[in-house]
């Protein structure tokens, strides 16, 4: 391919003076000379002509050449400004949902703000999220910054938000916000007196998590005792494996380095109400969360080692008390068909679509437009690649899904990364596309980090190529994006925020979104949402929080059955206006899907379209 392009460019350069002579002969030389001067002034004459020849050759060569480019050179494909302008102009602006919003600029270290999700009431004042850990920027504790960013993502469901170090809090700042969320992680970095005084003033709801509550009590001991009636001390209580909240038993993992929870003692039950209780390893119980006056207290960070049935859900629900206390009980559900590529079985897709349509269940389906099998794993060792337009029967099946209640989602471009085994065999639908991973000696998948050399421009070009394949197949432009395996870097999130208004996945959260600078893939956390949010990159995120049926298990975990999905949906009822959202692979057939649909409906959930949960 490289030889062909070089040859075409050489032909273009040789033909250039001949073209000038023809133009001069036809117009007396004036128009040709004027055209030549214009190109020379732009500094792009020979490059533009060579690029035009290359682009023309790409169109002539057809989709197999396009696929080859994706497979052979997945990282260092950086389009010129002219190509980006052409690609941007070619994008469809029609949308079933609201128009995409541009991502915010890179934040100043330590302080960052974000817009509210479409679910928020218009005009709601921002929530203020504070973290400690000493210093700001990269000098601060990145785990504290991650905690604050995860809290801000959830707060966006209700309001805009600002994240900043508590050390930079200014007197009276709380009154400018709808609520304050503070996460104490460092006993050696006490909150400033101005913040303590504003909390004790009692005019704004405050959620305080984990450490440093003693600083608040010591600031005004008499007021603390008369108004709040509880106290929290350390060290932590270890071995807590369950938290009971609103009549629901929530799980809590106990990894070897688990610091445990704080010891909370209620001295005056008339002033302090226990919202959730922790069950200890010895069978004992203690408060996990309490409320007194304007203060909600959680005895640990709720973001560590979360799962679809975790005590993290209690924290998610408590935010309604702070930011939307009038919210009524409502439970909606989403189902998404997963990993549908050009190699899909059309009859299988029709069967699944018919099942969902007859059950009167709106649904969505994630489509990758290019299929690549670089080592022929599924084709007797013969490398294979093709696109949607090469499989018209699959395209017709996708139209059938849309005609029967389905919303099409773009699920990456190739769902793999060129010829890399990332981490399996490089086959579309199996490997990572926007993140690096490998398998260890146990065949566990180990995430490694960002794609080397990747950039926002690389991601934009890749997305544009995928959108072009939808157009070539005669399909409408997807308005929602889903990252393969929910794995991506900040540059990729920024690119998606430019091309799409909505994502439908869980998120990788990076400390760099708070402290600025180049992202470190090890300074990150995974986060799912039980309701719609808008993340720091400006994209509204449709939630997926229950996972999927896995017949073989994954990374040492047991298989997940249809019953496990239903049980997780039952636990998620603890979130008063939450969404039970799962995904399903069509090759599993209709029986397990029917079991989940019936079970989730019996719990009182209503199945809706993805756009419905963002209202």
pLDDT of 298 reads 98
Mean pLDDT score, 210-214 = 95
Counting residues of the chain whose pLDDT is more than 70, the rounded percentage is 81
Residue 26 clears pLDDT 60, i.e. is over it: no
Angle between helices 590-602 and 346-358 (to 10 degrees): 20
CATH fold for domain 112-323: Rossmann fold (3.40.50)
Residue 567 clears pLDDT 50, i.e. is over it: yes
Question: In angstroms, what CA-CA distances link 488 with 456, 505, 532?
Answer: 11, 11, 19
β-strand pairing of 436-439 with 445-449: antiparallel
User: pLDDT by residue (tens digit) across 234-278?
Assistant: 878 999 999 999 999 999 998 888 889 999 999 999 999 999 999
Residue 539 clears pLDDT 60, i.e. is over it: yes
> How buried is residue 284: exposed, middle or buried, by Cβ count under 10 Å (0-12/13-18/19+)?
exposed
Answer yes or no: CATH 3.20.20.370 is held by domain 335-505+544-614: yes
Q: Which range has the top average pLDDT, 2-6, 99-103, 111-115, 326-330?
A: 326-330
pLDDT of 130 reads 97
Residue 54 clears pLDDT 60, i.e. is over it: no
> DSSP assignment, residue 123?
T
Residue 83 clears pLDDT 90, i.e. is over it: no
User: pLDDT by residue (tens digit) across 155-167?
Assistant: 999 999 999 999 9
Same fold, 112-323 and 335-505+544-614: no
Tell me the C-alpha distance between 379 and 461, whole Å: 29
The C-alpha angle with vertex 321 and arms to 316 and 322, in degrees rounded to 5, equals 90
For residue 194, how many other CB atoms are within 10 A of its CB?
15
Residue 388 clears pLDDT 50, i.e. is over it: yes
Residue 612 clears pLDDT 50, i.e. is over it: yes
8 A C-beta contact, residue 63 and residue 414: no
Q: What is this structure's pTM?
A: 0.83
Question: In angstroms, what CA-CA distances link 548 with 131, 457, 545, 560, 601?
Answer: 34, 32, 9, 7, 17
**Domain ranges across the chain:** 112-323, 335-505+544-614
List the one residue out of 181, 180, 247, 174 whose CA is nearest residue 210.
Answer: 181
139 pLDDT tier (thresholds 50, 70, 90): low
**Per-residue DSSP letters for 315-381?**
HHHHHHHHH-TTPPPEEEEEEEEEEE-TTS-HHHHHHHHHHHHHTT--EEEEE-SEEEETT-TTTTT
């Amino acid at each position: 391919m490289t030889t062909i392009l070089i040859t075409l460019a050489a032909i273009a350069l040789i033909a250039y003076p001949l073209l000038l002579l023809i133009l001069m002969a036809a117009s007396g030389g004036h128009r040709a000379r004027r055209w030549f001067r214009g190109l020379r002034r732009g500094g792009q004459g020979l490059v533009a002509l060579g690029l035009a020849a290359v682009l023309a050759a790409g169109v002539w060569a057809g989709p197999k050449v396009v696929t080859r480019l994706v497979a052979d050179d997945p990282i260092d494909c950086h389009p010129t400004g002219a190509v980006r302008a052409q690609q941007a102009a070619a994008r469809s602006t029609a949308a079933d949902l609201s128009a995409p919003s541009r991502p915010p600029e890179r934040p100043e270290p330590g302080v960052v703000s974000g817009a509210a999700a479409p679910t928020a009431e218009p005009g709601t004042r921002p929530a203020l999220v504070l973290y400690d850990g000493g210093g700001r920027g990269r000098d601060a504790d990145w785990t504290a910054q991650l905690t604050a960013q995860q809290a801000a993502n959830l707060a966006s469901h209700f309001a805009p938000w600002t994240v900043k170090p508590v050390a930079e809090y200014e007197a009276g700042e709380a009154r400018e916000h709808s609520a304050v969320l503070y996460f104490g992680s460092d006993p050696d970095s006490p909150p400033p007196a101005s913040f303590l005084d504003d909390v004790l003033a009692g005019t704004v709801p405050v959620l305080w998590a984990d450490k440093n509550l003693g600083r608040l009590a010591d600031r005004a001991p008499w007021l603390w005792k008369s108004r709040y009636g509880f106290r929290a001390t350390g060290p932590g209580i270890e071995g807590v494996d369950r938290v009971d909240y609103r009549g629901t038993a929530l799980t809590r993992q106990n990894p070897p380095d688990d610091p445990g929870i704080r010891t909370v003692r209620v001295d005056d039950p008339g002033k302090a109400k226990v919202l959730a209780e922790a069950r200890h390893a010895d069978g004992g119980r203690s408060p996990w969360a309490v409320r007194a006056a304007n203060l909600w207290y959680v005895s640990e960070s709720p973001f560590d080692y979360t799962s679809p049935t975790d005590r993290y859900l209690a924290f998610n629900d408590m935010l309604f008390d702070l930011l939307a206390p009038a919210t009524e009980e409502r439970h909606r559900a989403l189902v998404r068909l997963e990993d549908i590529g050009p190699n899909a079985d059309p009859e299988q897709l029709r069967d699944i679509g018919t099942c969902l349509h007859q059950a009167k269940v709106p649904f969505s389906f994630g489509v990758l437009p290019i299929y690549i099998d670089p080592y022929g794993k599924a084709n007797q060792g013969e490398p294979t690649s093709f696109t949607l337009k090469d499989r018209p029967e699959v395209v017709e099946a996708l139209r059938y899904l849309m005609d029967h209640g389905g919303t099409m989602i773009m699920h990456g471009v190739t769902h793999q990364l060129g010829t890399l085994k990332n981490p399996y065999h490089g086959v579309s639908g199996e490997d990572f596309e926007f993140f690096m991973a490998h398998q260890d000696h146990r065949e566990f998948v180990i995430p490694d980090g960002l794609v080397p050399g990747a950039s926002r421009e690389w991601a934009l070009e890749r997305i544009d190529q995928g959108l072009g394949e939808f157009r070539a197949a005669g399909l409408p432009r997807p308005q929602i994006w889903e990252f393969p395996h929910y794995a991506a870097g900040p540059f990729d999130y920024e690119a998606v925020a430019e091309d799409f208004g909505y994502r439908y996945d869980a998120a990788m959260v990076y400390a760099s979104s708070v402290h600025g600078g180049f992202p470190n893939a090890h300074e990150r956390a995974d986060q799912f949402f039980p309701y719609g949010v808008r993340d720091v990159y400006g994209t509204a995120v449709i939630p997926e929080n229950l996972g999927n049926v896995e017949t073989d298990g994954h990374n040492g975990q047991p298989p997940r059955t249809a019953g496990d999905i239903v049980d997780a949906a039952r636990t998620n009822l603890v979130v008063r206006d939450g969404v039970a959202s799962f995904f399903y692979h069509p090759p599993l057939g209709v029986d397990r899907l029917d079991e989940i649909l019936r079970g989730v409906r019996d719990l009182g959930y209503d199945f809706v379209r993805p756009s419905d949960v963002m209202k």
